Amino acid sequence: MSILLTLLMIVLILWVLGLWFGSGEDLTAFDQPVGPGGSECCSGPDGPSKEHREAVAGIKAMGGMIQGLSRKQMLQFTRDFMEDVPRGKSFNCEFIPVDVDGVPAEWVLAPGIDVSRRVLYIHGGAFIAGSPNSHRTITSRFSEVANAAVLAIDYRLMPENPRARGIEDCRTAYRWILANGPAEQGPPSRLFLGGDSAGGNLSLVMAAWARDQKLRAPDAVVAMSPLTDSRYSGPSIRNNLLTDTMLGPLFGALLKFPKVILSWIFVLENRFLPGNPDVSPVYGDLSNLPPTLLQVSESEMLLDDARRYVNKARKAGSPVYLQSWAGLLHVWQIYYPDVPEASQAWDRIDEFLKQVEAGAA
């Protein structure tokens, strides 16, 4: 009997700890449309394009390939899939490897850009995959629209490294780019910060960190489909599970676990509490942020991560904006130039950066 009671006490303690791990600010007050001037629905009247539907069909065709894979096999599949994204594409850019105080990276230089202008780009891939190579369709276009040299970093990935190592690499790169460009040392004339998905998370984390460290702030931040809440508390995490062609098959199985178990899984894998602003920027102080644009699909699981972040930041007085499209893939911008909606999203980013420079954002 004493052994049984001991086991029950251990289970109870673990359960209570799990509840505490997953605790945090109640964000339901931000589950509402973004106020006037803060958001824009950019969907066309005819729905997703033929090219986008073809991209979706390609993703769905690959869905059957992940059934029955072990965790190790799934990791390798994800990494291989992402590295194949730019295969067969040609780029009118120069890619220059560079060591960023120990962090591997590459400069991406579109023809005719002003190399005194710089972008720090942090790639996505669920913190477990991706590289500067996998995201060249994004970084090459970013270099064009920002008229800037893009520094794409190869930060350390999980599970080989703790989550904190990737964050450390981003901080190192941020400090480095403040003093180094592809052609000369010294501060940039303009500095932009960008990322997608996991990289969108890290870019928002870096913007707040730079503010707190009293470093030069980015002139603007662009986050595409960012994860902002590692508690996975937003309604769209579950409501959009079936409409998210990209993330649903990869992460839907996790949502079958009780939230207490999810909290334990997160803590054991990431070594952070889920509500820590270093991994969940929506729970941090969102005041005094630079002009920031979030783009998201209304069909993806991270829709409410973006909406909640924008609502909270705007309430805190920060110039943060949301652009949404109906029915699109997670991080559809990576399909530039093949998918019209990707081109449209980059045109909006171009407009946003121009508005920032004109003092209108």
Residues labelled as active-site residues: 197, 300, 330
Q: 120 and 109 in contact (C-beta within 8 Å)?
A: no
At position 343, the amino acid (one-letter code) is: S
Characterize 301-330 residue by residue with b for buried, 16 or more Cβ atoms within 10 angstroms of its Cβ, and e for exposed: bbbbbbbbbbbbbbeeebbbbbbbbebbbb
CB 107 within 8 A of CB 151: yes
Pair 135, 152: CB distance under 8 Å: yes
| Helical spans, DSSP H, in 91-229 | 136-146, 163-177, 198-212
Query: Distance between CA atoms of 329 and 249, rounded to whole angstroms?
Result: 13
156 secondary structure, DSSP code: P
Cis upstream peptide for 159 (omega within 30°):
yes
Instruction: Count CB-CB contacts under 10 A for residue 246.
Output: 23
Q: Long-range contacts for 285-288 (Cβ within 8 Å, ≥24 apart)?
A: 285/208, 285/316, 286/208, 286/312, 286/313, 286/316, 286/318, 286/320, 287/316, 287/317, 287/318, 288/211, 288/317, 288/318
